[in-house]
Amino acid sequence: MDKILRVNMSELTVAEDPVPQAYQNLGGRGLTSRILLDEVEATCHPLGINNKLVVAPGVLSGTRCPNSGRLSIGGKSPLTGGIKEANAGTPLSHQLASLGYKAIIVEGLPENDEYHVLYISEQGARLEPAKDLAGLGMYAVNEKIRKRYHEKVYVMGVGQAGECRLSNAGISCNDPEGGPGRFAGRGGLGAVMGSKKLKAIVVDTKKIFDAPVTDKDKYGELCRKFVKILRGNPVSGQALPAYGTNVLMNIINEAGALPTRNFKYGRFEGANKVSGEELSARATARGGVGTPTHNCHPGCVILCSNIYPDENGEAIVSPIEYESAWALGPNLMIDDLDVVARLNRICNDVGLDTIEAGGALGVAMEAGVVSFGDGQGAIRLLEEVGKGTPLGHIIGQGAEAVGKAYGITRVATVKGQHMPAYDPRAIKGIGVTYAMTTMGADHTAGYSVSANILKSGGFVDPLKAEGQVELSTKLQIATAAIDSFGLCVFVSFSLLDDPEGWPTVVDIWNYKTGGKYTLDDVMEVGKEVLRVEREFNRRAGFTPAHDRLPEFFRTEPLPPHNTVFDVPPEEMDRMNEQFNMLR
Amino acid sequence: MDKILRVNMSELTVAEDPVPQAYQNLGGRGLTSRILLDEVEATCHPLGINNKLVVAPGVLSGTRCPNSGRLSIGGKSPLTGGIKEANAGTPLSHQLASLGYKAIIVEGLPENDEYHVLYISEQGARLEPAKDLAGLGMYAVNEKIRKRYHEKVYVMGVGQAGECRLSNAGISCNDPEGGPGRFAGRGGLGAVMGSKKLKAIVVDTKKIFDAPVTDKDKYGELCRKFVKILRGNPVSGQALPAYGTNVLMNIINEAGALPTRNFKYGRFEGANKVSGEELSARATARGGVGTPTHNCHPGCVILCSNIYPDENGEAIVSPIEYESAWALGPNLMIDDLDVVARLNRICNDVGLDTIEAGGALGVAMEAGVVSFGDGQGAIRLLEEVGKGTPLGHIIGQGAEAVGKAYGITRVATVKGQHMPAYDPRAIKGIGVTYAMTTMGADHTAGYSVSANILKSGGFVDPLKAEGQVELSTKLQIATAAIDSFGLCVFVSFSLLDDPEGWPTVVDIWNYKTGGKYTLDDVMEVGKEVLRVEREFNRRAGFTPAHDRLPEFFRTEPLPPHNTVFDVPPEEMDRMNEQFNMLR
């Protein structure tokens, strides 16, 4: 029987509750967002006693469905002030689902400053004191926790950034080797966890694919079919396994949409030096501890992750994603992959979202705190966060806060969250997603890059305004469903391009739940997620005025295409209206 | 003929335009807010090229009407993100009105970093380079400007806080002696001025009461009548002249509504040591350069200002207002008036709003950056702002930014602006004003303290929820009219209590303009201002969700009365609905 684990940090109690009927068919993002709408007053202080942190594996997590190991984490965002869901691929998702945990709800606030760890095993859950972990980064936290319990536990937790309740604090989740580099990074949920003085959640079980399905044989057959579909797709079967997500560096640079020097240019001369091809070549040459490609959770068949070694073959960091390589590279005019790796490692240790951290450094460079291109300067700046200096407190809050501290207007944020690695003037579909989604600038909320650049699911000219709102909306709906299933967003290339894609996922869903769902039902799952999230934000005080890009994107042409973002805001507003009413 | 001075900082040009018909009857806050609604896109970046700084003397400024020398300054606020009007009493208001300037609109942004001064005389206006003023505080700026022009010019400008575009930067205006202590302080308009690289506006004229009126003799007679009314009122005729605004320290402390230790308690043991009575006694004993009471502009008959001397009789600062003494005193557990004076002087020099600066220091103390009660620590902290250190950049942004930087939830702000010197749990009418007004927490927007505590204009029990919304709304309407006339808000005690008060002001208005207005027209002026401001904020993305106090005011009882703020939000929303539609 599935259950909900309720952890009260005011009382230091844990309780296992049955899953309410209304939540039976929900999972992942669909469940975290619904619980937030039902239980959290939208106007509450994100770091106060009334916010909650909700963790939920996807509907398909805990099964052998390929790439179903995404773990959703939700809360009211300290960064945006709105609803937030961030997900990470991690064994923890399969484990929690296998243990029957539909969701973990962390609520309340302790009155003192003592940190705790939530320890979960097959015997149940309990809070344990964690004084010894306070003040530590995620590498040390993982080491200490494994010393305290044993080598095979998995961990999610916060570094110094979360303890300091900085609005760019992410939540670190383990990869299969126990590395801390899989982040539910965006939107500052690490600060919510830190505010509750919950340093980490430790899961101790060998169960990984133990969630029940209705027909094991048929389910296995469908999963194998889905594996084949994923492996047959050129993006998820070839490009991503070969070079990881950072295969995009040269592609987006070529497209003239690689935000360079804090969104001033669309191309960067040194892009190739920090590309996936270079990463793969270096990792192979240096004979590191892993292959150049690597998985983030068991059951992944795409293997887009990586472990990046130094010259002696010792791992510096895992993974270097495209978004991170861009944020900490071209965005800062840095073309040295080793510097990018060091910066990425600091983020993983202190517990910062790399996109937002790169954005913050870019704005700091804009302000002249250090110069563009100064890699050692960037490392020094980022190290301040873990040290807790005033400058660290500024940087650790993300790009918008740095802009405010230094009076800088050139800040590429929407709803306070920094844009990822695609300039919305040269890939207008992603600009629409940045603007429309409740999440703040977020590429994963509706990855229009697929049709704009990768020509997956058709082609919509990235430089034209036409068709982008429709494209983005369709993807936002589908993505909200994918995030609810616990599937990796990279399955979507197959879903878009392979006629067998969606039907197979629908079949898997039916054999998981015993339902008789259709593709329409999938889309209804997605729409309902968007409605729920929009309703939360409406209550929190959001209006269409917040669904806008910063003004310089409308007025300053981006070389080399010299285009501006000119999708009519009214078109986005009209489209969003369909999500304004809860069913 | 009245005119509008348009200053374009992109082109470095000035132009004098005729006053559009629609603006003929507007002045002060009514005009600044209207121009902002008409000319500024509400979603623009407050520090970007599309925001404007609007300066307007009141309708009655430039005449012998007593206490009509308030100068309104408006812009989109960097602190709240909404519309902002802040006004100050200063000779500049009379001068600009006497020169026929209905408004000054500063727009655009220069592409380089060179500062300018706007020099205005009877010959017109021009921009002049001001490289030598860059980086200076307001005491030095005033000295240098007087050296460059002559001793009798008046100055408004920004210190280092404005240059750094910090969201708590205010605009310093001169008092009659040329001191820099009369601030249009709230909401960060100094950052808007700084963003435009306009260091100061210098007005060089002997004209002070030269604005035209329709019947000089009759006008003079009415003004003398109004003087008598003001002097006959116990608050404006006795309490304020004797002890200044700081006469409130002991009164509000006695009422149990003096926010102490960052809004933890309602009474402060050391209140009397920083009271108006103590200030007056010290200033007199020390034989300073001024009397204990002093005026902020010619024509003021209330004389609530002061000049506070050190032990040698040398002026430390002018003035110490009640709000400043509270923010920098009891709010920080500081009971030493000399420390308060030093802190106030730093604010005046660097160019910070004292209420917000005290709020910021209070939150920094909450975070443990320095201890509550540590006066020297507070001075050190505040000095960081002028030095431009990272900590200074945090403090200089105001309380909300300090809260975000240090993850503190106990931050007494509404719409990002810090509360003044009245705890809304013990004076609930002022809590309603804090919540309802478009301005962010602002006592002057509807000074319910009058009826809640001073029993002026009736009595509404400060500890009860009943009647507060109606009280606050009436005062918000009247105040918006008073702010448009250029009248000091302290005339309102006479307007509330003396049956001759309002009729006399209406007569003065008619003899100024040749109109045939009634008291209903006055109220319509006020209502229209509120409608215009609310419409701007609606466009900027504000909703009723922003018209709320921080949650701890609803849950944490305030000693000694142990009350919470329990005015139903829906009651405020319903009342505010009348201002939702422009006429």
Predicted complex ipTM: 0.96
Preceding omega of B298 cis (within 30 degrees of 0): no
**Tens of pLDDT along B224-277?**
999 999 999 999 999 999 899 999 999 999 999 999 999 999 999 999 999 999
- Mean pLDDT, rounded, for B436-445: 98
Residue B293's pLDDT band, with cuts at 50, 70 and 90, is confident
B54: phi then psi, degrees, rounded to nearest 5: -120, 130
Mean pLDDT of the residues in chain B: 96
Q: Which residues pair with B125 in a beta bridge?
A: B120
What pLDDT score does A583 carry?
Answer: 63
Q: How far is residue B206 from each of residues A341, B62, B68, B121, B152, measured CA to CA in Å?
A: 66, 12, 17, 9, 8
Residue A165's pLDDT band, with cuts at 50, 70 and 90, is very high
Q: Is the pLDDT of residue B290 over 60?
A: no
CA end-to-end distance (rounded Å), chain A: 28
In angstroms, rounded to a whole number, what is the distance separating the alpha carbons of residues A389 and B476? Answer: 43
Describe chain A by its helix, strand, coil percentages, rounded to 5: 45, 15, 40
**Tens of pLDDT along A87-134?**
999 999 999 999 999 999 999 999 899 999 999 999 999 999 999 999
Total-model pTM: 0.97
With CB atoms and an 8 Å threshold, state whether B543 touches A548: no
What pLDDT score does B291 carry?
Answer: 57
Preceding omega of A319 cis (within 30 degrees of 0): yes
DSSP A169: B
| Neighbour count for residue A186 (Cβ, 10 Å) | 30
With CB atoms and an 8 Å threshold, state whether A393 touches B394: yes
Please indicate whether residue B171 or residue A243 has the higher confidence score (pLDDT): B171
Q: Please list every residue in chain B whose beta carbon sits closer than 8 Å to the beta carbon of residue A552.
A: 48
CA angle B177–B182–B188, rounded 5-degree value: 150
Q: Are A428 and A422 in contact (CB under 8 A)?
A: no
Q: What is the amino acid identity at position A336?
A: D
Structure token pair of residue A101 = 């945990």
Q: Please list every residue in chain B whose beta carbon sits closer than 8 Å to the beta carbon of residue A538.
A: 543
In angstroms, rounded to a whole number, what is the distance separating the alpha carbons of residues A486 and A508? Answer: 13
In angstroms, rounded to a whole number, what is the distance separating the alpha carbons of residues B281 and A98? Answer: 75
**Tens of pLDDT along B517-562?**
999 999 999 999 999 999 999 999 999 999 999 999 999 999 999 9
- Mean pLDDT, rounded, for A449-467: 97
Of B157, B158, B150, which Cα lies nearest the Cα of B206?
A: B150
- Mean pLDDT, rounded, for A575-583: 86
Instruction: Kindly identify which residue of chain A lies nearest to residue B47, measuring between CA atoms.
Output: A409
SS3 A305: strand
Residues B456-480: b if buried by 16+ CB within 10 A, e if exposed: bbeebebbebebbbebbbbbbbbbb
Q: Are A583 and A528 in contact (CB under 8 A)?
A: yes
Alpha-carbon distance B48 to nearest alpha carbon in chain A (angstroms)? 6
Instruction: Find the range with the poorest average confidence among A90-104, A297-311, B281-295.
Output: B281-295
Q: Which residues pair with B18 in a beta bridge?
A: B3
With CB atoms and an 8 Å threshold, state whether B545 touches A42: yes
Residue B582's pLDDT band, with cuts at 50, 70 and 90, is confident
Residue in A47, A166, A545 nearest the CB of B540? A545
A213: phi then psi, degrees, rounded to nearest 5: -130, 165
Alpha-carbon distance B296 to nearest alpha carbon in chain A (angstroms)? 31
Q: Please list every residue in chain A whose beta carbon sits closer than 8 Å to the beta carbon of residue B414.
A: none
SS3 A527: helix
Instruction: Find the range with the poorest average confidence among A189-198, A512-521, B302-311, B364-373.
Output: B302-311
Q: Is the pLDDT of residue B288 over 70?
A: no
Residues A210-241: b if buried by 16+ CB within 10 A, e if exposed: ebbbeeeeebeebbebbbbbbeebebbbebbb
**Tens of pLDDT along B95-147?**
999 999 999 999 999 989 999 999 999 999 999 999 999 999 999 999 999 99
CB-neighbour burial class of residue A314 (10 A; exposed 0-12, middle 13-18, buried 19+): exposed
Alpha-carbon distance B411 to nearest alpha carbon in chain A (angstroms)? 10
In angstroms, rounded to a whole number, what is the distance separating the alpha carbons of residues A236 and A226? Answer: 12
In angstroms, rounded to a whole number, what is the distance separating the alpha carbons of residues B9 and B49? Answer: 9
Q: Are B509 and B515 in contact (CB under 8 A)?
A: yes
Structure token pair of residue A29 = 């993002």
**A with B: how many residue pairs have Cβ under 8 Å apart?**
99
DSSP B541: T
In angstroms, rounded to a whole number, what is the distance separating the alpha carbons of residues A39 and B452? Answer: 37
